[in-house]
Structure 1
Amino acid sequence: MKIEDKVREALRGVVDPELFINVVDLGLVYGVFVEEGGRVKIEMTLTSPGCPLAGVIDSEVKKAVKKVKGVKSVKLDIVWDPPWTIEMISEEAKAELGFF
């Protein structure tokens, strides 16, 4: 399995503390980029710019990714474009949230 795939799998262990769904299935992770030397850059968003638990999510993402074998450093960029919408949530997560 490639490091990028391992990182995405690790991110499935990071749960949004308000919605109780992992950040991947919520559609918050926009990109995982692995650079030379095990440097990983993650582009993700939050459900809202005023997310009161942004610091917790930031910390948990970095902690999870640093545990992946081959990862030497993690840079997390929170981006707002494109804006997050509920359409980005996976079908499984929508079912868990009762959207059906």
Structure 2
Amino acid sequence: MNEHSTVDAETASVIPAEELARMTDDIVTALKTVFDPEIPVDIYELGLIYKVDIDDERMVTVDMTLTAPGCPVAGDMPGWVEDAVNTVGGVQGTNVNLVFDPPWDQSRMSDEARAALNYW
């Protein structure tokens, strides 16, 4: 994960550790399929994903933000994230929370995103 994102699960989860690790990897992979149409980098590498939580019932909660509150796809992107995460085996459902605290800035981008956008 990039340094600003977290994936949490209950510390005493009923989900076996191997399955939780697989789900986590697959969720990150799914998140990397979602792009802001104005930026040629996926939302995960951009640092728009703040937190992913997998509960014992395999429900996933994603806290995410946008590059700007007035982003033209603000109404659509949470649905894209929900659809992507729901493709992961074992996920029973997804709730996406759009948050703006802390505000997104370029420091949240991964090195991969910085290279793709030439932000060095």
Which TM-score bucket, shorter chain as reference?
A: over 0.9
Question: For residue 92 of structure 1, what is the aligned residue in structure 2?
Answer: 112
Question: Does the CA contact (< 8 Å) of 1:34 and 1:41 recur in 2?
Answer: yes
Question: For residue 98 of structure 2, what is the aligned residue in structure 1?
Answer: 78
Question: Does the CA contact (< 8 Å) of 2:27 and 2:88 recur in 1?
Answer: yes
The Cα offsets for residues 12-63 of structure 1, whole Å up to 9 and x where unpaired, read as 1111111021011000001110012210000011001111111221121111
Stretches (4+) displaced over 6 A:
none
Q: TM-score, normalised by structure 2?
A: 0.78
- Which consecutive unaligned segments of at least 5 residues does structure 2 have? 1-20
Aligned CA RMSD, in angstroms, stands at: 1.1
Distance 2:53 2:82 in 1: 14
Q: Which amino acid aligns with 2:31?
A: L
- Pairs aligned (count): 100
Question: For residue 7 of structure 2, what is the aligned residue in structure 1?
Answer: none
Q: Which amino acid aligns with 2:79?
A: S
- Which consecutive unaligned segments of at least 5 residues does structure 1 have? none
Q: Which amino acid aligns with 2:35?
A: V
Distance 1:33 1:5 in 2: 13
Question: Does the CA contact (< 8 Å) of 2:78 and 2:97 recur in 1?
Answer: no
Question: For residue 6 of structure 1, what is the aligned residue in structure 2?
Answer: 26
Aligned partner of residue 43 in structure 2, secondary structure? coil
Q: TM-score, normalised by structure 1?
A: 0.93
Question: Does the CA contact (< 8 Å) of 1:4 and 1:33 recur in 2?
Answer: no
Identity, % of aligned positions? 39
Q: Which has the larger radius of gyration?
A: 2
